[in-house]
Structure 1
Amino acid sequence: MSVNIQNSWIGGLVAALAASLCCITPLLAIFGGISGAATYFNWIEPFRPYIIGLTMLIFAVAWYQQLAVVRRGQEDCCEPVKRSFWKSKKFLLVVTLFSGVVIAFPYYSSFFYKTTQPIATITPQAKFKFVKLNIKGMGCADCTKHIDGVLMGLNGVSASNTSFENAETAVRYDPTKTNTDSINLKIKEIGYQSTLIKNN
């Protein structure tokens, strides 16, 4: 039974990580330089509710097994067998809480993505151009803050507005300072994929 408990929390932890993988990978791209990583996992997003449900079911089974073992140990006449920390309720509680934090990551991920003010030196009376891009790899609405914050730090970009619902970003930029290729490259560097919709 203890082996089943261990397998249960491992499965629950893996499922919890999978549920938020599409949001975690852009953060990994920041710290680890994993270019385009989010694109590989964006197919997971539609299945997120089912994966969360599976995670909850796995942990429910793990806790049932854990409590059943404790109950049987209390009912036995003989002295209960000492169990290692890795098979204890304390460790299962730690893993359960950690999985909850991972699942909730999309709801607090914006704390990791700072909103950057333009650092660009915009040419006086510059004739701005606008580009609209389709974005792949966004796992939650907070991903828009990540994209906009990074693009606003790109020299020549004066405005960036990303929509999670439409999977698009609209960027206003000074063509004497930057171009669509640089904007596309910056989006790719932070773990997303973009394709041109409109440029004028």
Structure 2
Amino acid sequence: MSTGLKKSWIAGLFAAFTASLCCIAPLFAVIGGAGSASTYFGWIEPYRPYIIGLTILVFTLAWYNLLKPKNVQKDNCGCEVQKKSFMVSKKFLMVVTVVSALLITFPYYSSLLYANPKTVPINGTVNKKLASVKFSIEGMSCEGCTSHIDGGLTGISGIASSTTSFEQRMALVSYNPDSITADSISRKIRKIGYRNKIISKK
């Protein structure tokens, strides 16, 4: 029983981590400076609902097996068998369940972990005439990816602002054409880890 419970929470925790790996990877990429790593796990996104369902099923079975009534085991002397270890206790399963819930919901709060992009002066002034370029973005797997892109473009010389939409799979960037070109911005986005294509320029 204890071995089965241990396998259950390990499987559940692994499934929860896998379900959100497509959004956790970009954060690791920012921390580690490996932008292209964020696209390696984008393929997981279509399967995310199924993996979440599997996680819920595994933990439901684990809790059922732990909480269902059972006879107290005794040895040949009539003494109760030694208590189970913490690894197969209710408290530990509760901790693992909470951690798994945090992993599953990671895409909904991951943007809070990225630095908020700020509009910065361009070459010491904000009065220069700005141009804008719209990109189609490939490789985004959750809302956290928008912060990954906008945060990665923030502070680059010549870029005034960046607004990325996960729903539309697009990014709108305002920039100073005297300092940077649309093609250069496209290369910057690819370096961050997302394939893109210029849709329009103004």
Q: Same fold judged by TM-score > 0.5?
A: yes
Deviates more, 1:119-128 or 1:95-104: 119-128
* Contact 1:37 1:192 (8 Å CA) reproduced: no
> Aligned residues: percent identity?
49
Displacement of 1:42 in angstroms is: 1.5
Aligned residue in 2 for 1:53: 53
Three-state SS of the structure 2 residue aligned to 1:172 is: strand
> C-alpha offsets along residues 56-93 of structure 1, whole Å, 9 cap, x if unaligned?
0011111122224xx42537564033222222222111
User: Is residue 80 of structure 2 the alignment partner of residue 79 of structure 1?
Assistant: yes
Q: Provide the C-alpha distance between the structure 2 equivalents of 1:95 and 1:133, rounded to a whole number of angstroms.
A: 41
Aligned residue in 1 for 2:22: 22
Aligned residue in 2 for 1:128: 130
5+ long unaligned stretches in structure 1: none
Q: Provide the C-alpha distance between the structure 2 equivalents of 1:89 and 1:50, rounded to a whole number of angstroms.
A: 26
> TM-score with structure 2 length normalisation?
0.84
Q: Provide the C-alpha distance between the structure 1 equivalents of 2:48 and 2:126, rounded to a whole number of angstroms.
A: 47
Three-state SS of the structure 2 residue aligned to 1:72 is: coil
Aligned residue in 2 for 1:103: 104
Distance verdict in 2 for CA 1:6–1:189, change over 3 Å: farther
Q: Provide the C-alpha distance between the structure 2 equivalents of 1:31 and 1:145, rounded to a whole number of angstroms.
A: 14
5+ long unaligned stretches in structure 2: none
> C-alpha offsets along residues 79-134 of structure 1, whole Å, 9 cap, x if unaligned?
03322222222211111110001111111112112222233424676443322222
Q: Provide the C-alpha distance between the structure 2 equivalents of 1:100 and 1:124, rounded to a whole number of angstroms.
A: 44
Higher relative contact order (CA 8 A, sep 6+): 1
Distance verdict in 2 for CA 1:179–1:120, change over 3 Å: farther
Aligned residue in 1 for 2:34: 34
How many residue pairs align between the two structures?
A: 198
Greater fraction of residues in helix: 1
Displacement of 1:158 in angstroms is: 1.6
C-alpha RMSD over aligned residues: 2.4
